[in-house]
């Protein structure tokens, strides 16, 4: 009889689920290396995608592209499934603060900012930043791009 089960949540380098064959192989590999009366349960890791859309005023010392790059870097480092805790919602106020304090952003239109509410992250899920769309309020230029995900 088993005394303990260790659950391991996994995903591919592209943030997708492992195939059932890969999960079975991983489980067999780990089971062979466990102490007696211990089993391993290999589960898929669920990711909650976080996307941001905003209209900003750029401060004249930079470009919308430079602000977009800086903001993506800041979001990706703050919304990282490798360091996040399971089930912790992503606060809209934090998302606004991250962008509003990005170098080059003079102002941010919070009334049109998306997401319109906190991003709910399920109890067995982790957040993952996936895209940023910025619109320059002065020129109307838009940069809308997906962030490459790999681990």
R_g (Cα) of the chain, nearest Å: 20
Rounded Cα–Cα distance for residues 99 and 7 (Å) = 36
Mean pLDDT calculated for residue range 78-92: 93
Q: Which residue has the higher pLDDT, 68 or 33?
A: 68
Q: What is the pLDDT of residues 6-33, one digit of tens each?
A: 888 888 877 778 889 998 899 889 888 8
pLDDT of residue 7: 86
pLDDT tens-digit map of 21-64: 998 899 889 888 887 788 888 888 889 999 999 999 999 899 99
Contact 74, 68 (CB under 8 A): no
Neighbours of 56 (CB within 10 A): 24
Other beta carbons within 10 angstroms of residue 54's beta carbon come to 21
pLDDT for res 151:
54
**Global pTM value:** 0.82
């Amino acid at each position: 009889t088993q005394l303990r089960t260790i659950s391991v949540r996994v995903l591919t380098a592209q943030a997708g689920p492992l195939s059932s064959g890969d999960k079975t192989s991983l489980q067999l590999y780990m089971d062979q290396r466990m102490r007696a009366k211990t089993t391993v349960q290999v589960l898929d890791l669920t990711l909650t995608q976080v996307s941001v859309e905003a209209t900003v005023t750029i401060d004249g010392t930079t470009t919308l592209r430079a602000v977009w790059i800086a903001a993506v870097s800041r979001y990706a480092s703050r919304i990282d499934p490798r360091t996040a805790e399971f089930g912790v919602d992503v606060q809209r106020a934090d998302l606004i603060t991250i962008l509003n304090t990005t170098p080059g952003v003079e102002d941010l239109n919070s009334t049109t900012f998306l997401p319109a509410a906190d991003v709910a992250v399920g109890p067995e899920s982790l957040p993952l930043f996936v895209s940023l769309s910025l619109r320059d309020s002065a020129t109307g230029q838009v940069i809308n791009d997906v962030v490459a995900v790999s681990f």
